[in-house]
Structure 1
Amino acid sequence: MNRDIALIPVAIIAISSASILIRLTEADPLAITFWRLLIATLLTLSAARVSGRGIKIGGWWPLAALAGAFLSVHFTTWIASLFYTTIAISTTLVNVHPLLMLGVSRYGLSERVSRRTVAGVLISIAGAISMFQSAAILGGSNLFGAILALTGALAFTGYLAVGRIVRARADTLSYTAVAYGFATFFTLLVALAEGSPLFGYSLEVYLLFALIAIVPMLLGHSIFNYLLGKYRAITIAVSALGEPVGATLLAIPIFGQIPTPFTVVGMALVLTGVAVVALEEA
């Protein structure tokens, strides 16, 4: 069994912390997105320099820029959704992208999609739906938050699809630095256009910005970028479905959000689907 498969649960745990840290951050959603991407970009560049590998730019950089645009849309919409709806709804809906990724992998990337992979994706999607039904009884701004989260899911599908193509031609650090860098640039343009405050926050908020960049970005998304060079895009997409499970569990002691029976069933289904796909790939 390829030992790289053990990195999947590490990445899942890391990205599960994102929604918690974001909800604890009292800042404009666009500011959170900008600083998360900027710090992650700078750390990636530093890692490339320390390792001695540097950043090697090739003819693939326009595609990496496109991936950065998708990533900017993903974070901009999803982070905003966390301030309009619950962590359970937001993290569940933003992670329905494996259903979209299934079609992209099969018809867009010409990747093999076995019956077991399809079964694993469908099991995970069923779990996500169960978790959504449990949280959707809330009203008010939750509908708008759900729309933002779904938009984030669409954008993340594009990010994974483009990243899969680029990773066949670029090393992890080079691709990650370029994609994160362009994502930062595009987010900055939106923030300036919207007049969102990017500065003037407390030291505590800036520390949270750093944590959001280091834990879910570098220990989560960067690991997924590495694994895109090893495994199919659909495998990475469905693995990310572990996020709503981890986020919901973390929200219990921090925000007092107790999962309903439907949520518990959803967690079990999501984890089962992730295990099926991961074992199939291994």
Structure 2
Amino acid sequence: MPIFIPLVIGIIAVSFSSIFVKWSQAPVSVQGMYRLLFTLLLMLPFVWKQFAYMRKISNKDAVLLFLSGTFLALHFLFWMGSLKLTTVASSTILLSLQPVFVMVGAYIAFREKTSKAAMNGMIVAITGAIMIGWGDIGISIQHIQGDILSILGTIVVAVHMLIGQKLLKTLPATLYSFIVFLTAVIVFAVYNIFLEIPMTGYPDKEWGIFLLLAIIPTVFGHVLFNWLLKYVTAATISMAILGEPVGASLLAYLLIGETLSFTQWLGGAIVLTGLYYFLQNTRKQKKDKPLAPIKNPVTAGPIMKKG
């Protein structure tokens, strides 16, 4: 199965994340905690057989797993918080700057270089992403606070992905995701207890949103991207996520009435063009590296074709 198929599925899935966050009235730390807790419950039947592998994890890797989970929790806290203060387009455009931080971090940590052609694709895609959010980037104090939170969320998720790229060279993808999500749940729980944020007593609608956040953008988004890190670089995943502002802005227009200007529609087309160009050139760079058999990101078993 071509790699671009799970990439597209992941982009569509994460595009729903901002809509669900907007629909919820619960504090973002509660949303993030239950989003990941429900994801853990969904993964448990498929990952428990890998628990024996945990004894092989070195102390260094254990620390990196803790840091990865902590940075993931911070990402959700910052980015989901930004959606309460600014528009979907503004928040996701700033989040789409993630490849810049990932590329810099990958060069510093792994001396990972990007071709000039791929760099051009990145520039085109980021230019289009800026056009998407241009009409919604606010000048009020509230919007500025939201923009700052989104930038912080972008930085910490880039660190999370780079740590994941290192750990997934030796750890099974599903076990990595499970441990990182569990760590993030614990971080959220401590945060909620410390700030005395209620973790129970929410209406049925909120619990439904928590479950949707777990199934759609987390399992078919983040878990899928974690798995893909075994076959492509963190920079490639970050570039793929540039498709999120397109999907999220379109969904925001259709579902919550956030309008889009002509410039934003044009920016969406430019993002997709730059994204395609980048991925094509990244694939050429890795053409000599054979891909491992495709496995299901949740079960870690082979994906079966439907007849």
TM range (shorter): over 0.9
Kindly state the Cα deviation for residue 266 of structure 1 after the two structures are TM-superposed.
1.7
Which residue of the partner structure matches residue 163 of structure 2?
Answer: 162
Which residue of the partner structure matches residue 16 of structure 1?
Answer: 15
Which residue of the partner structure matches residue 203 of structure 1?
Answer: 204
Which residue of the partner structure matches residue 113 of structure 2?
Answer: 112
The gaps in structure 2 that reach 5 residues or longer are 284-307
Kindly state the Cα deviation for residue 44 of structure 1 after the two structures are TM-superposed.
2.1
For each residue in 1:9-29, what CA deviation from the matched residue of structure 2 results, as whole angstroms up to 9, or x when unmatched? 000000000000111112111
For each residue in 1:79-125, what CA deviation from the matched residue of structure 2 results, as whole angstroms up to 9, or x when unmatched? 11111111111111122110111112223222231112211211121
Kindly state the Cα deviation for residue 127 of structure 1 after the two structures are TM-superposed.
1.5
Structural mapping, 1:52-131, within 5 Å: 52-54=49-51, 56-57=53-54, 58-59=57-58, 60-131=61-132
The 8 Å contact of residues 91 and 150 in structure 2, kept in 1 or not, is answered as yes
The verdict on how the C-alpha distance between 1:117 and 1:31 changes in structure 2, with shifts beyond 3 A counting, is same
Deviates more, 1:119-128 or 1:212-221: 119-128
The verdict on how the C-alpha distance between 1:280 and 1:122 changes in structure 2, with shifts beyond 3 A counting, is same
Deviates more, 1:260-269 or 1:168-177: 260-269
For each residue in 1:216-237, what CA deviation from the matched residue of structure 2 results, as whole angstroms up to 9, or x when unmatched? 0000001100010111110001
Kindly state the Cα deviation for residue 53 of structure 1 after the two structures are TM-superposed.
4.4
Kindly state the Cα deviation for residue 157 of structure 1 after the two structures are TM-superposed.
0.6
Identical aligned residues as a percent? 28
SS at match of 2:46: helix
Which residue of the partner structure matches residue 24 of structure 2?
Answer: 25
In 2: Cα distance, 1:89 partner to 1:257 partner: 11
User: TM-score under structure 2 normalisation?
Assistant: 0.87
User: TM-score under structure 1 normalisation?
Assistant: 0.94
In 1: Cα distance, 2:52 partner to 2:105 partner: 29
Kindly state the Cα deviation for residue 54 of structure 1 after the two structures are TM-superposed.
4.7
For each residue in 1:102-154, what CA deviation from the matched residue of structure 2 results, as whole angstroms up to 9, or x when unmatched? 11222322223111221121112111222232112453411111111111000
The 8 Å contact of residues 14 and 218 in structure 2, kept in 1 or not, is answered as yes
In 2: Cα distance, 1:261 partner to 1:199 partner: 43
Deviates more, 1:128-137 or 1:221-230: 128-137
In 2: Cα distance, 1:210 partner to 1:26 partner: 15
Deviates more, 1:17-26 or 1:109-118: 109-118
The 8 Å contact of residues 55 and 173 in structure 1, kept in 2 or not, is answered as no
SS at match of 1:56: helix
In 2: Cα distance, 1:63 partner to 1:109 partner: 15
The 8 Å contact of residues 138 and 144 in structure 2, kept in 1 or not, is answered as no
For each residue in 1:152-182, what CA deviation from the matched residue of structure 2 results, as whole angstroms up to 9, or x when unmatched? 0001110111000001010111100111111
**Over 3 Å off, 4+ runs:** 52-55
Kindly state the Cα deviation for residue 47 of structure 1 after the two structures are TM-superposed.
2.2
Which residue of the partner structure matches residue 247 of structure 1?
Answer: 248
Structural mapping, 1:253-272, within 5 Å: 253-272=254-273
SS at match of 2:183: helix
The verdict on how the C-alpha distance between 1:267 and 1:55 changes in structure 2, with shifts beyond 3 A counting, is farther
The verdict on how the C-alpha distance between 1:55 and 1:87 changes in structure 2, with shifts beyond 3 A counting, is farther
Given residue 6 of structure 2, which amino acid in structure 1 is its aligned partner? L
Structural mapping, 1:196-235, within 5 Å: 196-235=197-236
Which residue of the partner structure matches residue 44 of structure 1?
Answer: 43
In 1: Cα distance, 2:52 partner to 2:26 partner: 32
For each residue in 1:184-230, what CA deviation from the matched residue of structure 2 results, as whole angstroms up to 9, or x when unmatched? 11111111112112110011210110000110000000110001011
In 2: Cα distance, 1:100 partner to 1:169 partner: 24
The gaps in structure 1 that reach 5 residues or longer are none
